[in-house]
Structure 1
Amino acid sequence: MEFRTKPLILLLSACSFAILTCIYLFPFSQSSIDGHYQTQQKDSFEAPKSNIWSELSVDEASDVYDFVFDELSHLNLTKHPKSNRDSFINFLETLRPNKTDAVPYLHDDATIPERWAKAAIAQVSDGDPYMVYYMVGPLPVSSETQVLPLEYIFNSGRNYIENPVQDFSSIMRFGLSLAENVSDITQDLLGAVVNTKDPFDPEGLLCWPRGSRIERGGMSMWFQFFRQGAGSGARTILPQGVYIKVDANSNDMDDWSPAQFYYNGVIYDSEAEFRDAWNKPDFRRAAINEDGSWTDTEDFDSKPAGRELPPPVSVQPYGPRYKLDKKQQFVSWFGFEFYITTAQATGLTLFDIRFKGKRVMYELGLQEAMAHYAGDDPMQGGLEFMDSFFGMGKNMFELVPGYDCPAYADFLDSRSYQAMHTYEQPNSICIFEYTADHLLSRHSAQFSITASRNTFLVVRSVSTVGNYDYTIEYIFYLDGTIEVKVRASGFIFGSFFARTNEDEYGHRIQEALSSSMHDHVLNFKADLDVAGPKNDMVRLAWEPLTKSYPWDRPEVEERNTMHIVEYAVDEEIGLDYPKNGGEFYVVLSSEEKNAWGERKGYRIAAGTGMGSPPHLTIVNSTTLGDSARWAEHDIWILQRKDKEPRSADPLNYFTPHDPLIDFTKIANHESLKQDDDSEYDGDLVVYFNLGAHHLPHSGDIPNTLMHTSASSVMFVPHNFADHDASRESVQGVRVQLKGKNSGGFAGEWSTNSDLRSRVARRGDEKKEHKVRYFGATYEEGVKLPLEAFEPDLRKFVSEEIAVTDLTFNGSAAGVWEKKIEG
């Protein structure tokens, strides 16, 4: 393979440096919860088809590892790499089948698609490190199996990126040496020093870099000091006010040297200049950002009225009403059916979603999670994260029963394969049914009240990427609605507060801490197949209208009113949610209609949360380049193609100005018209964004709260059925009201053949049915164990988790700790 080195002009965080060098060292949660309350399904249940998107089995991964080592022996792959100067298999996972191969198997009983693996290999070519994608298959390994460059899914024309950092650990050690050289200054200004013998001394300082520019042969970085925040993982709200810029324009670290210092709004061109200013009596000192009880995420001692009692909880006395095939990870619930799978970069994805036997979506899942900051210091000024790089799936950690999910939930495991290691993530996905505190529907009539419970199904995971915990859930409602929801919690990435700060980028939230404004934009893919693969997208616009109607005249010559105007979306485009909610975005079947002649459809709408989900505020981000153009609009409507399965790739983080997947080449205004002159087959795909414009305030200290950071999009049936599909499945009650004309129900003691009158005969009052339930009710004698209300978490045995640490903008602290300790 020929590699052509190109100049790389990037604004990268140190997170870009860590993962590819050390990802194989991540430890993962290993746990068990013995005997927590879980009602088991009595009847066996099997998926109708195999889960063709499932992650590799342990045996499959082992065979692929052996096969790749043999086939690519010329790369001198090692099983235990020590840096990016070694060649090794970074990770393995399933290469998901193309939709054109999967659909015939799912819907036409064709042969099951071939199974392939995807391998990312860190390899050295001419002394320079690269990350290269390969495809391995078909599986199981046989004489037919091959190792081929995985190229067709990348529109950059290549399947590799050049790794700009060869030895992340040495960079960390360099940062320690920088800090040690100015320990007298940090002791005076910050009240602490780094401990080179124990870099994670709770009383010591950290010194971490943010790569601000990478060019051919070198880079420059800003290092910032942080306090440890070891008690609650609060490092990102403990930044300190000393920054050091390093001139790293040489591959030889011995040539590196500090170039500038920044403190209290002043840049100093050398250490000597900084020292000289520090020694002067008029030197202006900033406050020290110290740890303390204010960073604790819990309060064990407060006793306000009511805390002596436990809160209400949801229980499930009679067991689950959904059916689950755990082996195939297939779910069936009141007309919904779908498969579950995971990927290291993106976490949960659902496939082949059907409702009442009709196709709704082929694929629904996360593509990328981006956070972009702004600020007036060297760290915040270029800060951004692309969390698929760290692994939204790899960082799906164990869920706490009774808290992350109800005690009665079903829990599924996930796994990943990195550098010859298998990492199990037990109980990292939960599935449960829940009844909301508000009704699905209700109505008070003259003689009766009808109330229908709002029960829905949830598939949930939590990805902890450094300082933030992202709860991602897929919610299914009885009427056929599907909601995708994200909630965030955790520590903000704060900025050091100096007297020179203004409120241009945030608020002062502690003695020496300022918040930093930032945008969260999480991109999802929804490959809709509404009643089949041939679909159209329309905008149903609510528009004002002035029109003359014959029944108005002569009193009103013209009436000011409104009407609906349908606009076809006939080319690929990015759309934003309209002002005043004045348009409906609807995906319609091109062929199927309901009983009333209306095309079957699903509407895409902002869901429950903190307003409409946003897109990126920054225009032509200097940091992002072309790596995340999907963040520039709320919704994208595109042609679906096998060669364009994703909007982004984790390795875009390394090459933002020349990404492996350039979304502008996917969203390139191709026609969405279905006509004889077009090769387009009517199979469209929607990419949509969730997230928030986050301006942290004092209420975000110590942690951001989930109900203030929720965002969702809903896919709502629009003429998809002939009537409300929830009516036959919902649980509820009709209560007759007292009155001389009040009576029973249809067909009971009617005064005439009009069964809709619901009026009882005179004299039959004693026979009146005052209440009638639709769906089952609970009976007397229900008994539940204590763990149905409060699982005994003393039985929750879980190993320590090395969460990706973003205190220095995204690098993996767990990796760094291991290397230092080793």
Structure 2
Amino acid sequence: MGSLAAFLLLLLLVGNFQLSLAAPRPRAPSIQHPPRTPFRLLVANASAVNASPNTPRVNVLVAEPAGAPTVSSPKQNVFAALTTAEAASVVQFLHQDANINLTATANAGPWDNSIASVQTVYPNKALSIDYLDGSGVVPPRYARVSVNVQATEEPYVEHYLVGPLPISNSSTAVPYTSISSQNTSRIRMYTSDFDATSSYAMGQAELISDIIQDLLGAPGANFDWWGTEPLPDSTGRVTQWLEAWAPPSGPFDAQTILPTGLQLKTDITGRDPSKWSFGGWWFNNLFYPSHDAFRSAWNSSGFARPPRMNASDTAWYGTDRVGEQLPFDTIPPPRSVQPKSQRFAVNKEQNYVEWGPFSFFLSFTRDTGFRLFDIRFGTSDDSEKKRIIYELGLDEAVAHYAGIDPVQSSTAYLDSMYGFGSMTLGALPDYDCPRRVFSYATFLDATYHANEVSTTHTNAICLFEADTGYLMQRHSSDTGLSATKNIAFTVRSVSTIGNCESLIDTFDYVFYLDGSIETVVRASGYIQTAAWATTGSESYGYNIHSGLSGSMHDHVLTFKCDVDILGTANSFLKHTLVPAQVTYPWSTEARSTMQLQKETVANEDQGKLNWPDNGSGMFVVANVEKPNAFGESPGFLIKPSRGGAGKYLTVQNSSNLKEAGHFTSNHLFVAQRKDTEPFASHSDNVNDPGNPIVNFNDFFNSESLEQQDLVLWFNLGMSHVPHQGDLPNTVMTTAQSGVVITPHNYLSNDASRRTNQMTRLTFSADTGIVSDVASFGAVALTGSLNLAALQPNLTSYAPDTNVRKFPFNPADATRIRA
């Protein structure tokens, strides 16, 4: 049996370890936005994270094998992220434009215009395909730039299209309106006076300092105050709710599970602080419209005081090991190794990857993290790989909360604003991803450009191959048995958006030998909670700790999938199993049975879909003009694969998301693909959700879906009502969701038949004696392993590297360790 495996897999154990986020740091004392801030890792005691010097070691017997093979990219990666030099040239170009009137971001104040981000613009699809498939020229390269325009009484964010790159006399900067369904390149912003509004709120809190000291056990300045983003209400007044959150003790960044339940409202309409006003207090499910009303109630004999949490007691919220040690847990767990060279190839210069029958390019942006482009798949039927997916990537993630208090009820995060690329973490070796040792994983760095600084995440994306732990195929009879290993290839990244599990995510794209591609999201981290009121909280969650409600919420993560089957002209098929009463020629009466009902989704009016009940239907992107040898339309089927796939928001017509969240209304969407509709959302929609730059509803306008260039959006996620098992952190066992696309009448047979990693046994039905073992070219293992080298040195974990872009000196750039 040893000859059946091309590599040794002791046991697959892919760890998804997630580190907690650093506590949010306010820009003004005791005030801050919701805790969605960058992560920093500090290792104070190496012995706490590394094996003891006395841990038994296995003698070194062989050296580490060669690393990943390199491969020539067939074409230039036209989807590549902007280089640091490109981003710097764009920044310098805009600073020379007196009409934009920029101030260097490092020096900008609340009344200055400054650059927020610089990102690549993905090229026109038709031009890209002409280049990738034939002799077309490389498409022109452009950048999109977000500028905070604050030198005005009504600040806004303006977006520019800059190019072509490299910057030359022909380059221009024009308002980027083409991707907006509203034909606009700007959106209002209400956070320019953050420091001033924070100071104003703290001044209001100081007026009841004695009450805060009594109810919370410390002065108001000892707490961090954050809550809702300031937004206009139905009357046009800009209001904000802030809550006092207790600071955690020790190394645990657990502030999101330490709410006090004391919240204040301010009206901060306009930019003149003299015209701002106090709006009221909320405490224990009661609203007090004035300081005097709150004080009067506090002085009354019937004033109710809910339980107060002990934030200094880390026993219940620390993430370190607690309790009695598990049996045998001092023994090292199984590890996966690849003793030979890797079985995939990477061109790091072009971010081009080949594995088995697949190839693809990678890209990376500040808003949405990493994406895959030009995914090709080859089979025995093909002389070369054919494109099956033009683009696959995350567009947006929503975390929508509910509760009796104003902060929870008003919270709906649109996380692309915080940036999945900016919040990407370097993978923690042996936890997030397998180690480099024994060639098991390849790591790619990723760079994004924001606030006139280019930040490189070291080891941001990992690529590795692994045995899934279950077979691809198995069949047995009384005279034989056949089995095929299920070896899969994973591309993984980890992003942390805030302390709560919205979102601390691993994003996986998993490739299988049968041609399937699975998109998987897993979440972990500290939940965002609410204070448990003496009445009313039971309708919004569980009492999970003293004074603590596990605030209920939905997660919806929206992915774009541009499928191309034998060309760009495709149709969307809906095949459903339906009950039927049928009288057959051979039967004397009608029989209860089922039949396959075949429909085509004709136009975009029908393009908002949900997964069929009971799993009794199939959605297929197919090319009906190119039937296979049996008259069937070749295509790829899309369906849920695990967890909460197909999640849509429980809250319909959200009061918080308004016109900015229509992509959360269904499980799956199909529309005509357009270069002017590159994303389902926009990273600045959260600034004014009633008037978003991109309104997803506008994508659906009755256009035909029959033999057109189609694009899908599918939603992953879950409804989360936290329970005591979510303390201290939500675990990935259940917090996961996936969708898979898989060949459907696309191939003449199962594509995994091409692998060598299979066996067929022949044995006697009478004696059971095996007479033959077919190995199909699988190579037997030889040599020994250096098991000691598998132990990771976590003190070598690499933080980000930052390079300033303005002023920029490529020969002597200032590099700052984050």
Flag whether TM exceeds 0.5 (same fold): yes
Structure 2 match to 1:280: 300
In structure 1, the residue matched to 2:228 is 210
Q: CA RMSD in A?
A: 2.8
Corresponding residue to 1:578 among 598, 608, 612: 612
Q: Is contact 2:81–2:119 with CA below 8 Å preserved after alignment?
A: yes
Equivalent position amino acid for 2:393 in 1: G
2:696 aligns to what?
A: 663
Residue of structure 2 equivalent to 1:428: 460
3-state DSSP of counterpart to 1:233: coil
The range that moved more, 517-526 or 290-299, is 290-299
Q: How many Å separate the matches in 2 of 1:536 and 1:135?
A: 33
Superposition map of 1:280-359 within 5 A: 280-291=300-311, 292=313, 293-299=315-321, 302-356=324-378, 357-359=385-387
Matching residue within 271, 286, 292 for 1:266 = 286
Runs (5+) with no aligned partner, structure 2: 1-23, 52-62, 379-384, 803-818
| C-alpha contact (below 8 Å) 1:207/1:226 kept by paired residues | yes
Question: What pairs with 1:138-149 in structure 2 (closer than 5 Å)?
Answer: 138-149=164-175
Q: Does residue 226 of structure 1 match 2:260?
A: no
Q: Deviations over 1:760-809 (max 9, x none)?
A: xxxxxxxx43x232352442422234233x312133354799xxxxxxxx
The verdict on how the C-alpha distance between 1:92 and 1:435 changes in structure 2, with shifts beyond 3 A counting, is: same
Which AA in structure 2 matches 1:206? Answer: D
Q: Distance in 2 between matches of 1:593 and 1:347?
A: 37
Q: 1:476 aligned to 493, 511, 522, which one?
A: 511
SS at match of 1:68: helix
Q: Is the 8 A contact 1:488 1:710 kept in 2?
A: yes
> Judging changes above 3 Å, is the alpha-carbon distance between structure 1 residues 384 and 672 closer, same or farther for their aligned structure 2 residues?
same
Q: Does the Cα contact within 8 Å between 1:31 and 1:797 map onto a contact in 2?
A: no
* Residue 590 in structure 1 maps to residue 592 in structure 2: no
Native 8 Å contact 1:30 1:799 kept in 2: no
- Residue 364 of structure 1 deviates from its aligned partner by 0.4
* 1:496-515 aligned within 5 A: 496-515=531-550
Structure 2: distance between partners of 1:16 and 1:544:
60
Aligned pair in 2 of structure 1 residues 39, 695: CA closer, same or farther (>3 Å)? farther
Alignment CA distance shift 1:737-1:161 (3 Å): same
CA distance 1:310–1:254, shift in 2 (3 Å)? farther
Looking at structure 1, the residues matched to 522 and 277 of structure 2 have their Cα atoms a distance apart, in angstroms, of: 42
The equivalent position to 1:378 in structure 2, one of 379, 398, 406, is 406
Distance 1:17 1:601 in 2: 53
Q: Which amino acid aligns with 2:589?
A: E
Change (3 A) 1:296 1:16: closer
User: What secondary structure does 1:306 align onto?
Assistant: coil
Distance in 2 (alpha carbons) for counterparts of 1:643 and 1:38: 49
Q: Work out the CA distance in 2 between the residues paired with 1:718 and 1:220.
A: 52
In structure 2, the residue matched to 1:762 is none
Distance 1:430 1:98, change over 3 A: same
Q: Give per-residue Cα distances to partners, 1:506-564, cap 9 Å, x unaligned.
A: 11100110112211111110000012111111111111222222223xxx322221111
Residues 447 and 741 in structure 1, CA contact (< 8 A), matched pair in contact too: no
Which of 490, 494, 518 is the matching residue for 1:462? Answer: 494
Q: Which runs of 4 or more aligned residues in structure 1 lie more than 4 Å from their structure 2 counterparts after TM superposition?
A: 14-18, 25-33, 35-40, 215-218, 738-744
Instruction: Name the counterpart of 1:47.
Output: 73
| 1:247 to 1:130, Cα distance in 2 relative to 1, 3 A | closer
Aligned to 1:395: 423
What secondary structure, in the 3-state scheme, does the structure 2 residue paired with 1:538 have?
A: strand
Q: Secondary structure at the match of 2:106?
A: coil
Residue 599 of structure 1 corresponds to 633
1:56-75 aligned at under 5 Å gives the runs 56-72=82-98, 75=101
User: Structure 2 CA distance, aligned partners of 1:436 and 1:561?
Assistant: 36
The TM-score with structure 2 as length reference comes to 0.86
Percent identity for Structure 1 against Structure 2: 35
Distance 2:134 2:354 in 1: 20
Is the 1:635–1:688 Cα contact (8 Å) retained in structure 2?
yes
Does 1:93 find its partner at 2:112? no
Partner residue, 2:808: none
Q: Kindly indicate whether the alpha-carbon contact (under 8 Å) linking 2:227 and 2:242 is maintained by their aligned counterparts in 1.
A: yes
Question: For residue 679 of structure 1, what is the aligned residue in structure 2?
Answer: none
Q: Name structure 1 gaps, 5 residues minimum.
A: 1-13, 196-203, 675-681, 745-767, 802-822
Residue number in structure 1 paired with 2:661: 628
Q: CA deviation at 1:625?
A: 0.7
C-alpha separation between the residues in 2 aligned to 1:389 and 1:15? Answer: 18
Report the alpha carbon displacement of residue 440 of structure 1 after superposing the two structures with TM.
Answer: 1.1
**Matched residue of 1:706: which SS?**
coil
Question: C-alpha displacement at 1:581, in angstroms?
Answer: 1.3
* 1:792 counterpart = 2:793: yes
CA contact (8 A) 1:476 1:483 kept: yes
TM-superposed deviation, 1:218: 4.5
Structure 2 residue 437 is the aligned partner of structure 1 residue 405: no
Q: Deviations over 1:177-215 (max 9, x none)?
A: 3333333212211112234xxxxxxxx311224246415
Instruction: Give me the whole-angstrom Cα distance separating, in 2, the residues matched to 1:423 and 1:465.
Output: 17
Which letter maps to 2:272? D
Please give the residue correspondences for 1:772-811 in structure 2 after superposition, counting only pairs within 5 Å.
Answer: 772-788=774-790, 790-798=791-799
Q: Measured at CA, do residues 611 and 128 of structure 1 come closer, stay the same or move farther in structure 2, by a change above 3 Å?
A: closer
Cα offsets for 1:551-579 (capped at 9, x unmatched)? 23xxx322221111111100111000111
Determine if contact 1:521/1:631 at 8 Å carries over to the other structure. yes
CA contact (8 A) 2:756 2:775 kept: no
What is the aligned length? Answer: 740
- Counterpart residue type for residue 511 of structure 2: F
Residue 322 of structure 1: how far off its partner (Å): 0.8
Give 2:576's match in structure 1, choosing from 537, 541, 545.
Answer: 541
Name the CA distance, whole Å, in 2 between partners of 1:89 and 1:653: 18
Q: 1:564 to 1:286 in 2, by over 3 A?
A: same
Give the direction of change, closer, same or farther, for the CA distance of 1:16–1:569 in structure 2 (3 Å limit).
farther
Report the TM-score when normalising by structure 1.
Answer: 0.85
- C-alpha displacement of 1:486: 0.6
Partners of 1:739 and 1:96 in 2: CA distance: 61
Query: How far apart, CA to CA, are the structure 2 residues paired with 1:205 and 1:605?
Result: 46
Distance 2:40 2:627 in 1: 49
Asked whether the equivalents of residues 368 and 420 of structure 2 are also in contact (C-alpha less than 8 Å), the reply is: yes
What's the counterpart of residue 812 of structure 1? none
CA contact (8 A) 1:81 1:88 kept: no
CA distance in 2 between counterparts of 1:611 and 1:122 reads 37
Which amino acid counterpart does residue 476 of structure 1 have in structure 2?
F
Q: Distance in 1 between matches of 2:167 and 2:645?
A: 48
The alignment status of 1:646 with 2:679, answered yes or no, reads yes
Counterpart CA distance in 1 for 2:93 and 2:284 is 57
Q: Distance in 1 between matches of 2:556 and 2:518?
A: 17
Structure-2 change in CA distance of 1:142 and 1:721 (3 Å): same
Deviation at 1:31, TM superposition (A): 11
Structure 1 residue matching 2:444: 3-state secondary structure: strand
Change (3 A) 1:16 1:103: farther
- C-alpha separation in 2, matches of 1:330 and 1:787: 29
Distance 1:730 1:638, change over 3 A: farther
Preserved CA contact (<8 Å) 2:364 2:448: no
Identify if the C-alpha distance between structure 1 residues 642 and 611 changes in structure 2 by more than 3 Å, giving closer, same or farther. Answer: closer
How far apart in 2 are the matches of 1:785 and 1:309? 14
Out of 290-299 and 509-518, give the one that drifted further.
Answer: 290-299
Letter in 2 for 1:415: T
Q: Residue 707 of structure 1: SS of its match in structure 2?
A: coil
**Counterpart code for 2:331:** L
Letter in 1 for 2:489: L
1:177–1:401 distance in 2 versus 1, CA, 3 Å: same
Match of 2:16 in 1: none
CA gap 1:795/1:80 in 2 versus in 1, 3 angstroms: closer
